[in-house]
Amino acid sequence: MASWSRNPRYLAFIFLAILATLYLLGSFEGEAPPVTRNSSIEDHDLPNRLARSNKIYNKLLLDRKELIKKFGPTPNDVALFPPNKDPWPAYTVWDFFPAAYNCPFEIQRLGALGDGGKWVCGITRVETKPDCIVYSFGINYESSFEAEILANTDHCQIWGYDFSVTSFGPEIPRDQAHRTHFHPYGLAGTDKHGPDDVQKMYTIESLMKMNGHTHIDILKVDIERYEFETLSALIKPYLSSGKPLPFGQLQLEIHLWHFSFAEFLTWWESLEEAGLRPFFTEPNLVYQNYNRGGTTDLAEYSFINIKGDNIFIKDPPRRERPAEGGRHVPAPTI
């Protein structure tokens, strides 16, 4: 006869074990807990992630030099878009500048698919940041990117600039309009005004001074080739002083009209020297479709700034809050 049938205690034990198993199984069959926003943006592994990303990108810099030798051998000998199948294998300028830097956080497209949306690194880093600042140059009545930043953050204030339109696009919700600020200004390498004070142009630093800002978390620039003049003028004094650029990341459309490979390489390397690293790219295939048979000389790039202490590469300092007995303990990170 089985031992459990001879001793009631065994039977009771088996019965309790079955009940416990059913209880545990039932606790996993309910609805999944709701997804909540991060209560803290502190990431203790962030330095290691950045170190790995830097190592990967430094390897890319060496590979670029070898590719220039292969198709050059100097930058002056490299064509942006080779006109035929010689040399082979074929290449384009964009093969020299892949988005090889690993964003240490989630990468998310904000805004419409197709034209209008931009790829952002770590929007969760600013979702509750009280002093989140976004600048957007080039509106053209399409504001899906800006609208999704508002939807994904609690406090981000957006400054928009475009002298060709008079407001943000219709995507901005009315109940969030108080977090947006539009001006019909253009972006340039120097401050300048047109006849009758129209088409006002300002540098980024001039606009930041006007607005009382010392930093920009996210900077979007789509200004039809003026990006070369504008960013060159912005970067130059920071390279001379060794200070970090005043923004955390950059969403940029590049227009390679009337450029040589050597000129573009020099400009791109100035971005890298200033600390900008591309983490995402996509060609502008809409433009390519409109100009069938031509070259793909427009591309979207997203960069993270690896210098300084912006929110995408450094955790904010831990604040202290008073505790009982006058002793201070670290407060949760915002």
* DSSP H or E segment with residue 310: none
Q: Which two tokens stand for residue 203?
A: 């540098």
Which band of pLDDT confidence, cut at 50, 70 and 90, is reported for residue 143? very high
For residue 40, being part of any structural domain is answered with no
For residue 244, being part of any structural domain is answered with yes
Whether 328 shows a pLDDT value over 80: the answer reads no
For residue 32, being part of any structural domain is answered with no
For residue 248, being part of any structural domain is answered with yes
Question: pLDDT tens, 183-194?
Answer: 999 998 899 887
In whole angstroms, what is the distance from residue 178 CA to residue 184 CA?
A: 17
Per-residue confidence (pLDDT) for residue 334, from 0 to 100:
35
Least confident of 28-32, 165-169, 175-179, 211-215: 28-32
In whole angstroms, what is the distance from residue 239 CA to residue 9 CA?
A: 81
Question: pLDDT tens, 146-166?
Answer: 999 999 999 999 999 999 899
Which band of pLDDT confidence, cut at 50, 70 and 90, is reported for residue 324? very low
Three-state DSSP at 133 gives strand
Q: Among 162, 108, 115, 153, which residue's Cα sits nearest to residue 135?
A: 162
For residue 240, being part of any structural domain is answered with yes
At CA 256, angle to CA 251 and CA 257, rounded to 5?
135
Give me the CATH number covering residue 283.
3.40.50
For residue 71, being part of any structural domain is answered with no
Question: pLDDT tens, 270-306?
Answer: 999 999 999 999 987 666 656 666 668 889 999 999 9
Domain span including residue 137: 104-305
User: What is the reported pTM?
Assistant: 0.81
Mean pLDDT of the chain: 84
pLDDT higher for 307 or 293?
307
For residue 268, being part of any structural domain is answered with yes
Per-residue confidence (pLDDT) for residue 17, from 0 to 100:
56
In the chain, how many domains are there? 1
Question: pLDDT tens, 81-131?
Answer: 888 777 677 889 999 999 999 999 999 999 998 778 999 999 999 999 999
